[in-house]
Structure 1
Amino acid sequence: MNKAQVVEAVVLAKKAKQLTWESIASTLGMSTVWVTSACLGMNSMPEQAAEKLCELLELPSEAKSVLMEYPTKAWSPAIPQDPLIYRLYEVVGVYGDTLKEVIQEKFGDGIMSAIDFSMEVEKQPDPKGDRVVITMNGKFLPYKAW
């Protein structure tokens, strides 16, 4: 099996078993966002997590090693058409330079790590309509001179 086949098998098994990403992550004892990302092929799973996932979803035995493979993180350079993903692109497009300025003013010249990183997605009830709360937490990595 290759990465795309395992991703498809995971998504189909999740649907067939009527599971949520949250319930899968809870079974694995890991973050919902991270487990979802790994199941969609963007992170490599530790052996125990891959084994638990294969058992939970009744995946073929060869899926375990594929889930553990280091991914090649690539995505289409085209602007996505899905409205939710497009809006996230829009947020970065509109506020990207602002975030860069504010982060560098507070921390110095550098970037936020996407490796030493965590992210949570929460639902905040609101009388005017529920709110999506996305918290990104990345280590600051200063640029160095040499």
Structure 2
Amino acid sequence: MIPEITQRLLAAKKEMKLSFADLEKILGRDEVWIAAVIYRQASASEEEATKLVEALGLGAAYAKELTQYPVKGLGPVVPTDPLIYRFYEIMQVYGMPLKEVIHEKFGDGIMSAIDFTLDVEKEEDPKGDRVKVVMNGKFLPYKKW
């Protein structure tokens, strides 16, 4: 279920004919992070929230909600949206191999999703454009005690 504020922000973005890349230029933050704020998966500072709602032509009341701590995650069910499900499927197929390769290179630990960036790039290809997703997270070794 998409939160009501997300629906309103996305409608305003569409009305203003702005892309996430346009908002990146206005806010000075990455387009994926801005989308996460709009979808309430991240919170903005007061300054960031104000810039965002002003760019979308919305009132200050929306900015306050964007500074609140979000509830993260998709919930306990398998996602049904085809694009989101594809990432779930990628982890089902490549999750264990990816885990093994990371352990071989770094040791026993995890990749941070807090000290983390995510970039989406478009690579033009004559056989069909390619989606390039770059995840960059700090390695966190498991602590011994």
Pairwise mapping of residues 48-127 of structure 1 onto structure 2 (< 5 A)? 48-127=47-126
- AA partner of residue 93 (structure 1): Q
CA shift at 1:103, angstroms? 0.5
- AA partner of residue 113 (structure 2): A
CA shift at 1:125, angstroms? 1.0
Partners of 1:128 and 1:73 in 2: CA distance? 36
CA shift at 1:60, angstroms? 2.5
CA shift at 1:12, angstroms? 1.0
Aligned residue pairs, count: 144
1:14 counterpart residue number: 13
- The answer to whether the 8 Å contact 1:9/1:59 transfers is no
1:5 counterpart residue number: 4
Structure 1 segments (4+ residues) deviating >6 Å? none
Partner secondary structure for residue 37 of structure 1: helix
Give unpaired runs (5+ residues) of structure 2.
Answer: none
CA shift at 1:7, angstroms? 1.4
Partners of 1:25 and 1:127 in 2: CA distance? 28
- AA partner of residue 108 (structure 1): G
Query: Which moves more between the two structures, 79-88 or 118-127?
Result: 79-88
Partners of 1:46 and 1:101 in 2: CA distance? 37
Partners of 2:3 and 2:85 in 1: CA distance? 23
TM-score in terms of structure 1 length = 0.93
User: Which string of whole-angstrom CA distances, capped at 9 and with x for unpartnered residues, describes residues 70-105 of structure 1?
Assistant: 111132322222211111111011000011111011
- AA partner of residue 87 (structure 1): R
- AA partner of residue 84 (structure 1): L
Partner secondary structure for residue 88 of structure 1: helix
Q: Does 1:129 align with 2:144?
A: no
Partner secondary structure for residue 62 of structure 1: helix
Partner secondary structure for residue 137 of structure 1: strand
TM-score in terms of structure 2 length = 0.94
- AA partner of residue 59 (structure 1): L
